[in-house]
Amino acid sequence: MRKVLAVGGAVVVLATFYLRVASRAGLAGRALIGLLFGGLLVVVALGAGSTPRAVAQLPPSFDPASVSGSISPILTGWGVSQPIVIRFSAPMNAASVQGALRVSPQAEVRVEWDATASALYVVPLAGWTPGTVYTVTVGAGAQAQDGATLEPMPPAIVHVRSAATTELAATKLVGDDRVALDSGFLLTFSRAVDLASLRDALTIDPPVAGTFAFEGSPGSMPDVVWQPSAPLEPDTSYTVSLGPTAVDIEGAPLADRPTLTVRTVSRPSVIHCRNSSALTGPLPPFGWRIPMSVNG
């Protein structure tokens, strides 16, 4: 109806303008003005008759802070095991609500109700997928316990936080390409991890016995240091890897599984010694050292 009124108003305005101009123009001018007027009416009518499309699409690299105008606020930083809670203004008929419940993208979930039957908890069975936007809706057919039909409601939209990242490095470097024999290995995480899972996930080849220690608070993105129980073998390559069983404190897999290969320093050894007969005069006083070359 609004479009019809808009078209009618445009026709009245254009017709008034046409009559005023045409009254002052000649025959040829009136014909040209008539063609222009008719074309304008066609354009206005076509624009009024087409329905504009609203397309909602997330950009390929989703940044929650850049999204605006959503029907429901997007809750960011959502935990992988954190339930999505939908609250109602009255006790609900559980079967009707669960029948109208939709989770997109699809996920294996279980539902729980509070004691008042007015709060529904949607809990992921294996955890939400990190870095994913989930939409939970309750569609038509949901009813309250008194039979009242649920009014249309906006969806719950959450953006699950990204998986924890990992960096792996030796703790004691010697030069540019060697590590000390007493070097450990530092694992830096973007979020707190499960230490028990690291014990099974971290492998060193050739095998070496060692222990783990936290640096910092376990709840504040700690660094984890693996320290060998005995010195590493000299001039030996060690490969340190983090397997897929490593998880954060919520049980979510890590975003990456880094691998580090290092080589230890060589053991110092005497490679040349001068003949003592080359020394002239008395023996050097105590504390002097005979010049020699070492490698490593």
d(CA 210, CA 226): 7
Alpha carbon distances (Å) from 63 to 55, 59, 132, 156? 18, 8, 11, 18
d(CA 57, CA 64): 13
pLDDT higher than threshold 60 for residue 54: no
The band of 135, judged by pLDDT with boundaries at 50, 70 and 90, is: very high
Residue 11 is predicted with a pLDDT of 45
Residue 68 is predicted with a pLDDT of 34
Structure tokens at 251: 């049980």
Phi first, then psi, for residue 196 (nearest 5°) are -60, -35
Residue 38 is predicted with a pLDDT of 54
37-46, 49-58, 167-176, 261-270 — which one is most confidently predicted on average? Answer: 167-176
Residue 219 is predicted with a pLDDT of 55
pLDDT higher than threshold 80 for residue 127: yes
Q: What is the mean pLDDT of the chain?
A: 74
Residue 208 is predicted with a pLDDT of 92
Q: Following DSSP, what letter does each residue of 38-68 receive, concatenated? A: HHHHHHHHHHHHSPPP------SS--GGG--
Residue 287 is predicted with a pLDDT of 39
Structure tokens at 14: 């254009």
d(CA 60, CA 106): 20
pLDDT higher than threshold 60 for residue 252: yes
pLDDT higher than threshold 80 for residue 108: yes
Residue 280 is predicted with a pLDDT of 53
Residue 32 is predicted with a pLDDT of 43
Which pTM was predicted? 0.56
pLDDT higher than threshold 90 for residue 249: no
pLDDT higher than threshold 70 for residue 59: no
- 60 has which bridge partners? none
d(CA 189, CA 194): 11
Give Cα 289 to chain centroid, integer Å: 61
Residue 293 is predicted with a pLDDT of 35
Residue 26 is predicted with a pLDDT of 56
64-160: CATH topology is: Immunoglobulin-like (2.60.40)
pLDDT higher than threshold 80 for residue 25: no
More reliable by pLDDT, 93 or 196:
93
Domain 166-263: top CATH class: mainly beta
- 238 has which bridge partners? 262
pLDDT higher than threshold 50 for residue 296: no
Of 241, 163, 178, the residue nearest 206 (C-alpha): 241
DSSP letter assigned to residue 286? T
The band of 273, judged by pLDDT with boundaries at 50, 70 and 90, is: low
What are the pLDDT digits (tens) for 210-248? 988 876 665 556 688 999 999 999 999 999 999 888 888
Pairing of the two strands 101-104 and 133-138: antiparallel
Residue 255 is predicted with a pLDDT of 87
Residue 104: CB partners within 8 Å, gap ≥ 6? 134, 135, 136, 137
SS3 content of the chain, % helix, strand, coil (to 5): 20, 30, 45
What percent of the chain is modeled with pLDDT above 70?
Answer: 63
Number of residues that make up the chain: 296
Residue 279 is predicted with a pLDDT of 47
pLDDT higher than threshold 80 for residue 288: no
More reliable by pLDDT, 281 or 76:
76
Residue 176 is predicted with a pLDDT of 82
